[in-house]
């Protein structure tokens, strides 16, 4: 579908599960070389091995600048370039009243989602600028666009990701580097399914609130990533693309109006 992606080296943080894993499979199907950087080293290496011998799995805590730089240096040493960076690494936030929230967890969430995205992008950009070409795809969220009760750190981090996507898109556009983000809605990842199974999220309410009437699949996000990395998106940079089934377009329940 996107033959131009075949020679690309694609670095995916958080690629051992969820949206990152879907991205790894999606880009591998296009023939790209995949590097999975994940806190779960065993899983990262196992998935890379399953994808094929040319792929690579590495351990990385994206909140640790030394580890981030080591990953990028390893990629450059092995492959000579990095064409696409996909920042998927993240952790779940703790949904509880604000006055009960833990500052250590607040800072850790910002470190992983926002600072980790920034540091990995900065490290890769050093080489992309030399190449004269590159593509960065960040994972924001509808939580960075609309208000979600209790989700202070997560929402702040995701809003920050959308903003650095804009600023970097402006800075590097003339240098041939495109920077975009995706704002997923409610996506049925294994983590979200576990939350549903625990009774912490009502799937029926989410589906009723979503104009398309159902939750998304990880492959929906991977498809958007493939598009943004492709030549078909050659004149797109600095944007955050909602992939949410219309969730952020929703204004009021349709049954509130009689039609008279």
In a domain, 181, yes or no: yes
In a domain, 256, yes or no: no
CATH of the domain at 37: 3.40.50.720
Which positions are catalytic? 154
- Tens of pLDDT, residue by residue over 195-221, are 899 888 899 999 999 999 999 999 999
In a domain, 196, yes or no: no
In a domain, 156, yes or no: yes
Q: Between 91 and 210, where is the model more confident? A: 210
> Is pLDDT above 90 for 92?
no
> Is pLDDT above 70 for 259?
no
Domains in the chain, number? 1
Q: Which domain holds residue 231?
A: 3-187+217-238
177-184 vs 33-38, strand pairing mode: unpaired
In a domain, 23, yes or no: yes
- Per-residue pLDDT band for 44 (boundaries 50, 70, 90) equals very high
pLDDT at residue 260, rounded to an integer:
56
pLDDT at residue 146, rounded to an integer:
93
- Tens of pLDDT, residue by residue over 98-119, are 899 999 999 999 999 999 999 9
In a domain, 198, yes or no: no
Q: What are the distances in angstroms from CA 108 to CA 104, 116, 118, 158?
A: 6, 10, 14, 14
DSSP-derived secondary structure for 120-143: HHHHHHHHHHHHT-EEEEEE--GG
In a domain, 147, yes or no: yes
- Tens of pLDDT, residue by residue over 158-173, are 999 999 999 999 999 9
Q: What are the distances in angstroms from CA 28 to CA 25, 55, 86, 117?
A: 5, 9, 14, 22
In a domain, 205, yes or no: no
Nearest CA-CA partner of 55 in 119, 106, 8, 120: 8
Measure the CA–CA gap between 228 and 46, rounded to whole angstroms: 27
């Amino acid at each position: 579908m996107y033959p131009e992606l075949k020679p690309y080296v694609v670095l995916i943080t958080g690629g051992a599960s969820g949206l990152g894993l879907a991205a790894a499979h999606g880009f591998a199907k296009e023939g790209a070389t995949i590097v999975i950087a994940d806190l779960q080293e065993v899983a990262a290496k196992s998935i890379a091995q399953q994808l094929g011998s040319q792929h690579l799995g590495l351990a990385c805590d994206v909140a640790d600048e030394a580890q981030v730089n080591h990953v990028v240096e390893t990629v450059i040493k092995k492959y000579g370039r990095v064409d696409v960076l996909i920042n998927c690494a993240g952790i779940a936030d703790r949904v509880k009243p604000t006055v009960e929230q833990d500052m250590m967890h607040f800072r850790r969430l910002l470190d992983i989602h926002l600072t980790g995205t920034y540091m990995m992008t900065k490290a890769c950009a050093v080489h992309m600028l030399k190449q004269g070409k590159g593509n960065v795809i960040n994972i924001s969220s509808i939580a960075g666009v609309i208000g979600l009760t209790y989700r202070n750190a997560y929402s702040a981090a995701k809003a920050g990701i959308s903003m650095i996507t804009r600023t970097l898109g402006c800075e590097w556009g003339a240098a041939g580097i495109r920077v975009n983000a995706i704002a997923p809605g409610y996506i049925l990842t294994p983590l979200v399914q576990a939350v549903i199974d625990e009774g912490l999220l009502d799937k029926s309410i989410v589906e009723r609130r979503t104009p398309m009437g159902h939750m998304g699949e990880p492959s929906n996000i991977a498809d958007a990533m493939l598009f943004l990395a492709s030549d078909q998106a050659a004149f797109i940079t600095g944007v955050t693309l909602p992939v949410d089934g219309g969730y952020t377009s929703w204004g009021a329940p349709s049954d509130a109006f009689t039609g008279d």
